[in-house]
Chains A and B, each alone.
Chain A
Amino acid sequence: MAAQDDARLAHGRVHLVVGIGSPWRGDDAAGLLVAERLAAMCLAGVEIKQCDCLDLRLLDLWRADQFVILVDALVTGAAPGTIQRVDLLRQPLPRGLAASTHSLDLATVLELARLLKHLPRQLLLYGIEAGSFDPNGTPGAAVVSAIDECAKMIAGAITWPAEEPR
């Protein structure tokens, strides 16, 4: 199934990759660093963005007609550096407590996008399991390796050389 989904990303149909995170909170920088790696690859027809916030501005980053990949740090209890891929249009994230507009969780922003009919045509999340969010810390070794691996996975998916899926 994953291969077929990735095949759908081929032929320049992925328009946008968004790396989400904070550069100042250890492993939380993972999404931003994956976006940096991908930007350095200069992939044709792919727009790369970084987002250091999780609030309503996230909704402005994509258009409803786009194919979008989000990359963010995750906390699921898996080993740090574990990469997970989630099709967010099929498998919604659980919503957290949205008590303030200072920050929202990703699931809340996506639920709002769904209600406002502003979800993109395809929305994948590549999550990297984080181990530490220490202020001013840098990502741990396991997460740094995962950042490189995740960038390669996404680049591979985007440039999948297969035919159109049947």
Chain B
Amino acid sequence: MNTLTTKTIRVEALARVEGEGAVNVKVREGQVQEVEFRIFEPPRFFEAFLRGRRAEEAPDITSRICGICPVAYQMSAAQAMEQLAGVQVPEPIRRLRRLLYCGEWIESHVLHVYFLHAPDFLGYADAVQMAGDHPGIIQNALEMKKVGNAIVTLLGGREVHPVNVRLGGFYRVPAAREWTMLTEQLKRARETALGMVQWTAQLPLPDFEQDYEFVALHHPHEYAINEGRLISNRGLDVEVAGFDEFLVEEHVPYSTALQGSLAGRANYLVGPLARYNLNFDQLSPLAQEAAQMAGINAACRNPFQSIVVRSIETLYAVDEALHILEQDEMPVQPYASVPVRAGAGYGCTEAPRGILYHRYHVDAGGVIVDARIVPPTAQNQKTIEQDLRRYVATHAHLPLNELTWQCEQVVRNYDPCISCSTHFVRLQVER
């Protein structure tokens, strides 16, 4: 008689993530046998769309990959084309790009913290149910979100899928008077963001310390957002153009997104937790102080605490946006000229969910002949599976419903953007 007991944890459609994915975990006699973070959203072939298009179109075309982080796509694409042309944008434009990116971080982090992640720890099915008991919290979230929207609208031309970014800078730079209201909004948001850090820190977060290889951008003078070298806590230290040599992408049969890992190493983690661990010292004093008050150390290896880290980064983004506005130096020209040049261009910036890598080959006529786009969620897939494997291994005794619910939470720690990650899959046809 076969006395082996098998437990299958199956989440057919993950809720409160961006896009369509699922989880399958098989446990036999208390041992995890299989773990699959399945992404079944159809591939979107953006790299193929880019072939034959002009280099200057890349920021607008790629921004359509995601409605949550279009700025990240615009910035990585623009940076790649500028790197190819040997252009470094003037400092005032560089700062305004950083400001725009702060707006996107605020929008994205606030959505995830309050609407997608927090309900997990308070036992609600969703944020609407949570709003019934905590209307003030959701009201704060909406106010914070508005501030992010205001920045993106002012600099990007509209809240979603901004249209004002171009190679070398912006089509138009707002006049000084247009910033005044934004500064006041940001000052109020800074107080709310401080409360956000305190509120998330007191949520009942599971203890689940893990040992990760964190990968993030690092800049010598600032908390890296839109430029820097790629570093890790295990010795990776390369310029963006060198990342191609380390990045390995693999097609697994159950996912329409390529899974990333580091050549000769293993899976790695990108996103807020990686940035926080690698660049904590460069957070603003206010953000560092808030982290300490919240009891979150400079080294934070519990993915469930990513909700607090996102809140700290939200506070930082608000603080940094104010800092940029205080500098009060607007560019004389809205953009620098970016000449056409044949060759390969590399760009990488810190999307809200982690590093977003672009590589383009452009011909002498300025036409894209090849593109590679590696979004953060694709890079995190293997680490999500590793977390699921380890989490289930120590919680296999839980009733199936409870364990299934907790597996969903393990995935949501990463704020996965499945729609972003499924824009390409290699098709192999055998005849």
Interface residues of A, Cβ cutoff 8 Å to B: 53, 56-57, 59-60, 95, 97-102, 108, 111-112, 115-117
Contacts and interface: CB of A to CB of B under 8 A. Distances in A.
B225 to A, nearest CB: 22
A111 B129 CA distance: 9
A60 B160 contact: no
A102 B18 contact: yes
B18 A100 contact: yes
Contacts of A115: 128, 131-132, 135, 138
A31 B128 CA distance: 25
B239 interface: no
B139 A116 contact: yes
5 contacts: A57-B149, A101-B18, A108-B128, A111-B128, A115-B128
A102 B135 contact: no
Closest 8 CB pairs of A and B: A115-B131, A99-B15, A101-B111, A115-B132, A100-B18, A112-B128, A116-B135, A111-B128
Contacts of B146: 60
> Helix, strand, loop or mixed for chain B's interface?
helix
A100 B128 contact: no
Contacts of B331: none
Nearest to B15: A99
A100 B17 contact: yes
A161 to B, nearest CB: 39
A100 B16 contact: yes
A98 B129 CA distance: 11
Contacts of A117: 135
Nearest to B138: A116
Contacts of B115: 56, 101
Interface in B83-140: 111, 115-116, 126-128, 131-132, 135, 138-139
Query: Which among A97, A101, A116 has the greatest number of chain B C-beta atoms within 10 A?
Result: A101
Nearest to A52: B160
A97 B17 CA distance: 12
Contacts of A98: 126, 128
B159 interface: yes
A118 to B, nearest CB: 9
A50 to B, nearest CB: 13
B124 to A, nearest CB: 12
Contacts of A99: 13-17
Given A95-B128, A111-B128, 18 more contacts: A57-B159, A98-B126, A99-B14, A99-B15, A99-B17, A100-B17, A100-B18, A101-B111, A101-B115, A101-B116, A102-B67, A102-B419, A108-B128, A112-B127, A115-B131, A115-B138, A116-B135, A117-B135
Interface residues of B, number: 27
A166 B15 CA distance: 49
Contacts of B19: 100, 102
A100 B41 CA distance: 14
A56 to B, nearest CB: 6
Contacts of A60: 146
Contacts of A97: 15
A95 B131 CA distance: 15
A108 B16 CA distance: 14
Contacts of A111: 128
Given A98-B126, A111-B128, A115-B132, A56 B17 contact: no
A102 B68 contact: yes
Interface in B1-22: 13-19
B3 to A, nearest CB: 39
B319 to A, nearest CB: 24
Given A98-B126, A100-B16, A59 B131 contact: no
A57 B149 CA distance: 9
Contacts of B116: 101
Contacts of B16: 99-100
Contacts of A95: 128
Nearest to A95: B128
Nearest to A108: B128
B142 interface: yes
Contacts of A108: 128
Contacts of B127: 112
A97 to B, nearest CB: 8
Contacts of A112: 127-128, 131, 138
Interface in B387-431: 419
Contacts of B68: 101-102
B145 interface: yes
A59 B128 contact: no
